Amino acid sequence: MKIVIAPQGFKGSLTALEIARAIETGIKRAMPDAETVLVPVADGGDGTLQALVDSSGGRIVTSTVTGPLGKPVQAQWGAMGDGVTAVIEMARASGLALIKREERDPLHATTRGTGELVKTALDAGLRRFIVGIGGSATNDGGAGLAQSLGARLLDKSGMDLEPGGAALAHLDRIDVSKMDPRLKESKFTVACDVNNPLCGATGASAIFGPQKGATPEMVKQLDAALGHLADVIRRDIGANVKDRPGAGAAGGLGAGLMAFVDAELRAGVDIMLEAVGLEKLLPGTDLVITGEGQIDRSTVFNKAPVGVAMLAKKRGIPVFALAGSLGDGYQQVHQHGIDAVFSLVNGPMSLDDAMARTSDLISAQAEEIARAVLTATLIKRPSQ
């Protein structure tokens, strides 16, 4: 029997690869001869870097870059095992989690550090990029990223703009003639699970600005500045990004990536499953096991377990899911390719206890699943 094991990590507990190994341990107790294929996955959010590196036999690199408020930070990025693909999570260099709540400053926060990670990966010889853009502290439309890669954003005096979204109001012209030439040899795919435009009532500043510290007055200021940036981009670069879906992601970084490096924005789970080659591993598979920390009604919205299940269902393969807990509406996943779900908790215990025992609980539940599958294969229908 061939079993593909493709879970995502359990946040705050184990990585996707550790979860997959624990499931394998339980399966092998009941089915020592089973062929198991481990495929750690993610959905473009937390854990994507680790999952892609683990699944490809790559490595994680730590680089010193400019943080969102200009101070140096240590940021991790990934070099996948194919030798050509870099994995960058902008939150590692320009994320909200890098600064204290009282320090949040969307007027001046910059994406420069994310661009510096791109440059570091280019220096390492990598030419394909998977970029996750959730969790930003910034609202600069990707201006800092562009500047770090050689673009010049100039005011009327011919001076380079200061960092941050507020400075965009003074943008007079954009010069991309000195951008890193290696970018033309590169392909950028952006994991983006929001469809917000750059500006307006559902744009970057209005929807995401307040969580980054923007007051209502700042929201108006930043929205106008991003609108001005989009107008200058259209005039000087020829890219129309203002109303494109996803342009407003990460404080307008979605727009910046589309404009300055010709990036393609896609759903994170689709990028992930394509990158790990899950579909190519499914032929001949008898069962797929996936999972995440909690399965609930939100799981059906492009989360990794449902993405895994939908690929399996194209081949008629049954899918089981393991979860740390089952939340409200978890039954909805049955309409999206997951045939059965199982919670790890096998008795009264605290959350801390459950998280401390996650690996053992997963293995125990996976063993019971394997035993149930074996029993099912032995059941014969009565003769008609």
pLDDT tens per residue, range 81-99:
999 999 999 999 999 999 9
The CATH homologous superfamily to which domain 2-41+277-378 belongs is Glycerate kinase; domain 1 (3.40.50.10350)
> Residue 350: what pLDDT?
77
The CATH class of 48-269 is alpha beta
Q: Are 307 and 43 in contact (CB under 8 A)?
A: yes
> Residue 384: what pLDDT?
45
Angstrom CA distances, 88 to 121, 130, 190, 223, 304, stand at: 9, 6, 9, 26, 19
257-266 pLDDT per residue, tens: 999 999 999 9
Instruction: Find the helix or strand (DSSP H, E) in which 18 lies.
Output: helix 16-30
174-207 pLDDT per residue, tens: 999 999 999 999 999 999 878 899 999 999 999 9
Flag whether pLDDT at 78 surpasses 90: yes
CA distance 22 to 341: 17
Q: Are 86 and 126 in contact (CB under 8 A)?
A: yes
Amino acid sitting at position 191: A
Domain layout of the chain by residue ranges: 2-41+277-378, 48-269
Sole residue written with tokens 């705050």? 12
Give the number of C-alpha atoms closer than 13 A to the C-alpha of residue 339, restricted to the C-beta side: 12
193 or 5, greater pLDDT: 5
Question: How much is the average pLDDT of 300-326?
Answer: 93
CA distance 92 to 103: 17
Flag whether pLDDT at 145 surpasses 50: yes
Which of 263, 267, 212, 193 minimizes the C-alpha distance to 102? 212
Sequence-distant (6+) residues with CB within 8 A of 134 are 44, 45, 89, 90, 91, 191, 193, 249, 250
Sequence-distant (6+) residues with CB within 8 A of 235 are none
> Residue 380: what pLDDT?
60
18-42 pLDDT per residue, tens: 999 999 999 999 999 999 999 999 8
Q: How far is CA 306 from the centre of its chain?
A: 15
Flag whether pLDDT at 128 surpasses 80: yes
CA distance 199 to 6: 38
pLDDT band, very low/low/confident/very high, at 381 (cuts 50, 70, 90): low
Flag whether pLDDT at 126 surpasses 80: yes
pLDDT band, very low/low/confident/very high, at 382 (cuts 50, 70, 90): low
Which of 152, 205, 207, 143 minimizes the C-alpha distance to 176? 152
Flag whether pLDDT at 167 surpasses 60: yes
Lowest mean per-residue pLDDT among 10-19, 113-122, 283-292: 10-19
Flag whether pLDDT at 302 surpasses 80: no
220-279 pLDDT per residue, tens: 999 999 999 999 999 999 999 999 999 999 999 999 999 999 999 998 889 999 999 999
Q: How far is CA 322 from the centre of its chain?
A: 21
Amino acid sitting at position 332: Q
**Three-state SS sequence of 39-54:** CCECCCCCCHHHHHHH
Which of 351, 294, 303 minimizes the C-alpha distance to 324? 294
Q: What is the DSSP letter of 128?
A: E
Q: What average pLDDT does the chain have?
A: 93
Which of 6, 19, 4 minimizes the C-alpha distance to 358? 19
pTM over 0.75: yes
